[in-house]
């Protein structure tokens, strides 16, 4: 058996060849580990602050150039923590080699080990909602990155990072940090933890209240890292959405968000990935990107409708508004126009159970996922308000024999199931905090 670093091949037996192989081996090991990096943008070069992340799920710290310190980097390495220096839009290693590039959403490298962008909205309930998408019930408008991240997840071969910054000049309540974690994690992505200045200062000073909040943040990060398998689950819905960058797939507040904010499960299908198997189990398909379809993919959609599927497209001649490369959300006027054009879609999807129907979840978002073997269905819930939500009801398509409520730091709680009509199962949840997942087993 070979020991790590032992030479198994080198040109002419040279020491230089051995060194090259060793470096290549280390590089390969680092590359394999990258998808498991759990990141935080760090606020101090003091090695003493490493105690805050020691023996936690966080294992990758990003520091601005002004905060970079070899002493800090060495101390982190001793604890098994990776440190990267931020230089412009790139995170570089100790040698200065770029490891991760934080691009605009429109330029994300989906074939990289980590596809990353710093462009994101700060998740939460907006006090004044935009006119478009306003619910008749007066439900609050939620700023979210989930639509864009769900599209990124099905487009990427590796991990997804979103590094949107926390508002630095105002104290952020704990609930907002937890919502930011869940906003990314419910889609299989990771938020690069960031902190407002006051919280960073109090953490450095070991303020008891700050440490208590920090413990809950760590607990929430660990919750999703303890269930890494969820990142390999796929959307469970009989509604498919064919979309691409030209039709707003990389925007916040686009068509996918418009559907998902009404708690209608939807399965994004990148335009360039559209194949007949993409539409299996889909009874309804929305084609948001007709202009980008080639003849072969147009024929796939025609065959889908001939087989009995319902296809919904925009009005004749309609096309998505032109987008800027740095744009992350629709302008207000375009948002209102989009809402008007797709009003019929809202009516159609709102009357049917296309995977799950949820009740009393106005300040929450959800994501319904299924394991590759079909033996587990999970309903992710993220609460964007500052208080627990009570008396939640979900009607999930299919028949299930067991349901369990999982929440960070809480003991798993069995839930009772009941039949809804002939094709769905109901489950009631007395109350949930910021983050929760209902696990259903057939």
Residue 215 shares a structural domain with residue 103: yes
User: What token pair was written down for 43?
Assistant: 């606020």
What mean pLDDT value characterizes the chain?
88
Residue 52 shares a structural domain with residue 135: yes
Angle at 88 between CA 84 and CA 90, to 5 degrees: 45
Residue 20 shares a structural domain with residue 66: no
- Helix, coil or strand: residue 435: strand
Query: What pLDDT is stored for residue 421 in this prediction?
Result: 82
User: Which residue, of 350, 383, 398, is where some domain finishes?
Assistant: 350
Residue 13 shares a structural domain with residue 128: no
Say how far apart CA 95 and CA 87 lie, in whole Å: 13
Say how far apart CA 409 and CA 300 lie, in whole Å: 47
Residue 218 shares a structural domain with residue 247: no
User: What token pair was written down for 36?
Assistant: 């498991």
Cβ–Cβ under 8 Å, residues 62 and 192: yes
Cα distances (Å, whole numbers) of residue 336 to 133, 253, 254, 277: 8, 11, 11, 34
Cβ–Cβ under 8 Å, residues 166 and 195: yes
- For the stretch 46-81, what's the b/e string if a residue is b when 16 or more beta carbons lie within 10 angstroms of its beta carbon? ebebbebbeebbbbbbbbeeebbbeebbebbeeeeb
Q: Residue 192: how many CB atoms within 10 A of its CB? A: 23
Q: How many domains does the chain have?
A: 4
User: Which residue, of 301, 325, 350, is where some domain finishes?
Assistant: 350
Question: What's the pLDDT tens digit per position in 346-373?
Answer: 777 766 889 999 999 989 999 999 999 9
Query: What pLDDT is stored for residue 8 in this prediction?
Result: 30
Residue 129 shares a structural domain with residue 157: yes
The burial of 4, by beta-carbon neighbours within 10 Å (0-12 exposed, 13-18 middle, 19 or more buried), is given as exposed
pLDDT tens track, the chain, 442 positions: 223 322 233 334 444 444 455 445 445 556 678 999 999 999 999 999 999 999 999 999 999 999 999 999 999 999 999 999 999 899 998 888 899 999 999 899 999 999 999 999 999 987 655 544 444 334 678 999 999 999 999 999 899 999 999 998 889 999 999 999 999 999 999 999 999 999 999 999 999 999 999 999 999 999 999 999 999 999 999 999 999 998 999 999 888 988 888 889 999 999 999 999 999 999 999 998 888 889 999 999 999 999 999 998 877 777 787 888 888 888 887 777 777 777 777 777 766 889 999 999 989 999 999 999 999 999 999 999 989 999 999 999 999 999 999 999 999 999 999 999 889 999 999 999 999 999 999 9
Residue-number span of the structural domain to which 342 is assigned: 237-350
């Amino acid at each position: 058996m070979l020991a790590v670093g032992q030479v198994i091949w080198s040109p002419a037996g040279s020491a230089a060849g051995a060194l090259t192989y060793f470096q290549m081996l280390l590089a390969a090991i680092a590359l394999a580990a990258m998808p498991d990096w759990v990141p935080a943008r760090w606020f101090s070069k003091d090695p003493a602050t490493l105690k805050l992340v020691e023996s936690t799920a966080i294992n990758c710290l990003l520091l601005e150039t002004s905060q970079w310190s070899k002493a800090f980097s060495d101390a982190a390495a001793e604890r098994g923590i990776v440190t990267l220096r931020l230089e412009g839009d790139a995170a570089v290693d100790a040698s200065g080699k770029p490891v991760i590039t934080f691009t605009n959403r429109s330029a994300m490298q989906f074939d990289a080990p980590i596809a990353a962008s710093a462009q994101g909205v700060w998740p939460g309930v907006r006090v004044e909602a935009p006119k478009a998408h306003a619910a008749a019930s007066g439900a609050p408008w939620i700023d979210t990155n989930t639509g864009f991240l769900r599209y990124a997840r099905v487009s990427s071969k590796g991990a997804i990072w979103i590094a949107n910054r926390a508002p630095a000049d105002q104290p952020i309540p704990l609930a907002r940090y937890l919502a930011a974690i869940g906003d990314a994690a419910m889609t299989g992505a990771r938020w690069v933890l960031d902190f407002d200045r006051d919280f960073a200062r109090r953490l450095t000073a070991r303020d008891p209240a700050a440490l208590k909040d920090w413990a809950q943040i760590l607990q929430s990060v660990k919750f999703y890292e303890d269930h890494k398998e969820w990142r390999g689950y796929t959307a469970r819905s009989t509604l498919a959405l064919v979309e691409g960058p030209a039709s707003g797939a990389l925007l916040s507040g686009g068509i996918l968000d418009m559907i998902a904010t009404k708690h209608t499960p939807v399965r994004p299908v990148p335009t360039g990935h559209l194949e007949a198997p993409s539409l299996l189990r889909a009874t309804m398909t929305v084609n948001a990107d007709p202009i980008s379809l080639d003849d072969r993919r147009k024929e796939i959609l025609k065959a889908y409708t001939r087989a009995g599927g319902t296809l919904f497209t925009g009005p004749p001649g309609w096309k998505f508004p032109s987008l800027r490369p740095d744009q992350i959300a629709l302008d207000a006027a375009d948002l209102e126009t989009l809402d008007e054009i797709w009003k019929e879609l809202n009516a159609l999807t709102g009357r049917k159970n296309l995977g799950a129907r949820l009740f009393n979840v106005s300040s929450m978002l959800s994501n319904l996922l299924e394991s590759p073997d079909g033996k587990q269905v999970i309903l992710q819930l993220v609460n964007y308000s500052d208080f627990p939500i009570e008396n939640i009801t979900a009607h999930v398509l299919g028949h299930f024999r067991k349901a369990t409520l999982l929440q960070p730091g809480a003991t798993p709680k069995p839930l009772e199931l009941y039949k809804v009509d002939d094709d769905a199962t109901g489950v009631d949840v007395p109350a949930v905090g910021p983050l929760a997942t209902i696990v259903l087993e057939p």
